[in-house]
Amino acid sequence: MKRIALCFVLLVASAFSWADEVRVAVAANFTAPAKAIGAQFEHDTGHKLVLSFGATGKFYAQIANGAPFDVLLSADDTTPARMEKEGLAVAGSRFTYATGKLVLWSARGRLVDGKGNVLKTGNFRHLAIANPKLAPYGLAAMETLAALKLAESLQPKLVQAENIAQAFQFIASGNAELGFVALSQVTSDGKLENGSVWIVPARLHQPIRQDAVILAKGANNRAALAWMKYLRGNKARSVIKSYGYDL
């Protein structure tokens, strides 16, 4: 019996001796699903996953300056494409892992109506958005305001956050009565967790296609390749869909 147990331990140790570590830069809007998928990935593969969250624009600057990331999960499709052209990412490794949905959200119930008319009334002091120069969801928010012909009139009320996670915090804390965030940040299994929300029609902004790409530093990292494969799998896709993303 002891010999069987010892053999089992040795087999497990041998399997995990092949495990590697992958460092992934993740767009802030994808924080919750990345953590959920990451836990499954580590359990199923034995690889170690190190996640960092932030604005896509900031990650680009960090990676261009040598930040040791192996994979980027971007909030757009243009940044990974640009990185491929510049030699910062592995050509041909890019794919769309999710299509995001922009929402207008308030932590207060009934403040945001189902058609977003609260933007036209202007009955609020502060409207939070992510920095449109760094965060694709912030850019989509500005495109939405422009499409509604409200960009100029609401400019004095805008409170700009560094990324979509900080925009969420501004609203959740009450420092801004409402603001634009990702649907994934305010719903769980398709249900609104709290407050009030308007799902912005896709016609009001450019599609938020979120691409993943293997970075130059991760080109020969087996864990990076395994992570990208896992992200395409049924388990990951199920999690991504449950957070309100399109596939």
Q: What is the CATH number of the domain that holds 133?
A: 3.40.190.10
Q: State whether residue 15 is helix, strand or coil.
A: helix
Per-residue pLDDT at 54: 92
Q: What is the pTM of this model?
A: 0.82
Distance between CA atoms of residues 218 and 90, nearest Å: 8
∠ CA(23), CA(26), CA(27), 5° rounding?
165
Counting the structural domains of the chain, the total is 2
Could you tell me the mean pLDDT of each successive run of 10 residues in the chain, 247 residues long?
A: 44 52 96 96 97 95 97 96 98 97 96 96 95 93 98 97 95 97 87 92 96 98 98 96 90
My answer on whether 92 and 117 are in the same domain is no
Per-residue pLDDT at 183: 94
Beta strands 21-27 and 71-73 are parallel
Domain span including residue 34:
19-99+208-242
Per-residue pLDDT at 190: 74
Note whether residue 179 is domain-resident.
Answer: yes
My answer on whether 54 and 113 are in the same domain is no
Note whether residue 42 is domain-resident.
Answer: yes
Token representation of residue 158: 């805008």
My answer on whether 142 and 219 are in the same domain is no
